[in-house]
Amino acid sequence: MKRFATVLALSLVVAAQGTSAQTLKAVKDRGMLNCGANGTLAGFGLPDAQGKWTGLDVDFCKAVAAAVLNDPEKVKYVPLSAKDRFTALQSGEVDVLARNTTWTSSRDTSLGLNFIGVNYYDGQGFMVRKTLKVNSALELNGAAVCVQQGTTTELNLADYFGANKMQLKSVTFATANEAVKAYDAGRCDAYTTDASALYAERLRLANPNDHIILPEIISKEPLGPVVRHGDDQWFDIVKWTLFAMLDAEELNISSKNLDEALKSPNPEIKRFVGTEGNYGEQLGLGKDWAVRIIKAVGNYGESFERNVGQGSPLKIERGLNKLWTKGGIQYAPPIR
């Protein structure tokens, strides 16, 4: 079935003519944003029982739809596995891929993709059973490790065990669901993926309290949304959607105080909400593009806390993902 999907996507690559440019026009004509999402990862992209999607990446899709189509609900979410995601974007099946995807040089260049920024700074970790009495990833010599295929995780895992001269028995699965299920059934000693996802997946295990997450973070995993290479206008729009969410938090503009912000005399805020200058038109959107984004999903901090932070079951600390003004490394260029 997966293979069929790949072949189908492939034939689109073969047949499609010039899907690379004109994404904005295509999205507007369609009246719908096609967004590649995770579909199985709580906190980032997961539909609930009613089919309503939530998550940090899902919020990002809504923000783009709000900016471009003036309606955050006009998004068609396409659930993609790690190994099918790039083909789906390359072939034009989705307009933007927001699926906790790690930014690496080869993906940026040889895959024909552009990362628009980082919406979550992450790192790879390990989860093990408490009964193993393992306190460090360096003690995992000879362990069987369940991992999802087609991820940077899979490569980092082999790197880490090789660099530390440890024996590795990796068992790879096409989807995170299957990998977690096999780990839970005792097929592997450890499960590895990005630390944020470890917290989310632990909640789905039969007995979450029997498992611990080891302290080592073995890699840099800057996760960000991706668009196709070669459509600069669309690249700018998606990039500035993320920047607008970050800038809003820095300027203390949230979905709750938006009305006050619209009346603010502060020039920075006036440029943001569009009462001064024509920055939205320069992007090919309306003056109030940033207001629409904040009205739909709130600023970055609101979205973070609602989906993965203290307002969610995951309760992940913001850590590196705090704004630069608050000790983190999230930083966005100014709107002017």
Partner 1 sequence: MSGKLPSPSRPAQVVFYNDPKVRSVVYQLVLCAVVAFLVYGAVRNAADNLARAHIASGFGFWNDTAGFDISQTLIDYSARASTYGRAFWVGLLNTLLVSALGILFATILGFVIGISRLSRNWLLSKVAGGYVETIRNLPLLLQLLFWYNAVLKALPDIRESIVILGGAFLNNRGLFLPLPIFKSGFGAVEIVLLAGIAGTIAFHIWARKRQARTGQQAPVLWAALVLVVGLPLSAFGLAGIPLGFEFPQAGRFNITGGIEVLPEFVALLFGLSIYTAAFIAEVVRAGILAVSGGQTEAAYSLGLRPGPTLRLIVIPQAMRVIIPPLTSQYLNLTKNSSLAVAIGYPDLVQVFTGTVLNQTGQAVEVVAITMLVYLVISLATSLLMNIYNSRMALRER
List of residues contacting partner 1 (CB under 8 A): 1-3, 6-7, 9-10, 13-20, 82-83, 86-87, 90, 106-107, 109-112, 132, 140-144, 149-151, 154-155, 157-159, 161-162, 167-174, 178-179, 182, 185-187, 189, 228-230
Sequential DSSP letters for 4-53: HHHHHHHHHHHH--S-SS-HHHHHHHHTSEEEEE-SSBTTTBEE-TTS-E
Cβ proximity to partner 1: between 175 and 312 the closer is 175
* Closer Cβ to partner 1, 7 or 329, answer by number: 7
Contact between residue 90 and residue 113 where contact means Cβ atoms under 8 Å apart: yes
> For residues 33 and 145, which CB has a smaller minimum distance to partner 1 in the complex?
145
Q: How far is the CB of 218 from partner 1 (least distance, A)?
A: 14
Token output for 318: 């913001």
CB of 83 to partner 1, least distance (A): 4
Strands of the chain (E only): list them: 33-37, 46-47, 53-54, 75-79, 96-97, 113-115, 120-122, 124-129, 144-148, 169-173, 190-194, 211-213, 221-223, 226-228
Q: Write down the least CB distance from residue 90 to partner 1, Å.
A: 6
Check: CB of residue 299 under 8 Å from CB of residue 241: no
Q: Which residue type is seen at 32?
A: M
The residue (of 167 and 209) whose beta carbon lies closer to partner 1 is 167
Q: Taking a C-beta distance cutoff of 8 angstroms, is the pair 120, 56 a contact?
A: yes
Shortest distance, CB of residue 276 to partner 1, whole angstroms?
37
Closest by Cα among 192, 191, 195, 190 to 222: 195
Nearer to partner 1, 109 or 257 (CB): 109
Quote the CA–CA distance of 158 and 171 in Å, as a whole number: 12
Give me 291's structure tokens.
Answer: 């207001």
**102: Cβ–Cβ under 8 A, 6 or more apart, which residues?**
122, 151, 152, 194, 221, 222, 223
Q: How far is the CB of 260 from partner 1 (least distance, A)?
A: 45
Indicate the DSSP class of residue 311: T
Which is closer to partner 1, CB of 171 or CB of 205?
A: 171
Q: Which amino acid is at 232?
A: D
Find out whether 78 and 35 touch, Cβ atoms under 8 Å. yes
Query: 47 vs 150, which CB is nearer to partner 1?
Result: 150
* Closest distance of CB 110 from partner 1, Å: 4
Nearest approach in angstroms of CB 146 to partner 1 is: 8
Least Å distance between CB 34 and partner 1? 17
CB of 212 vs partner 1, minimal distance in Å: 16
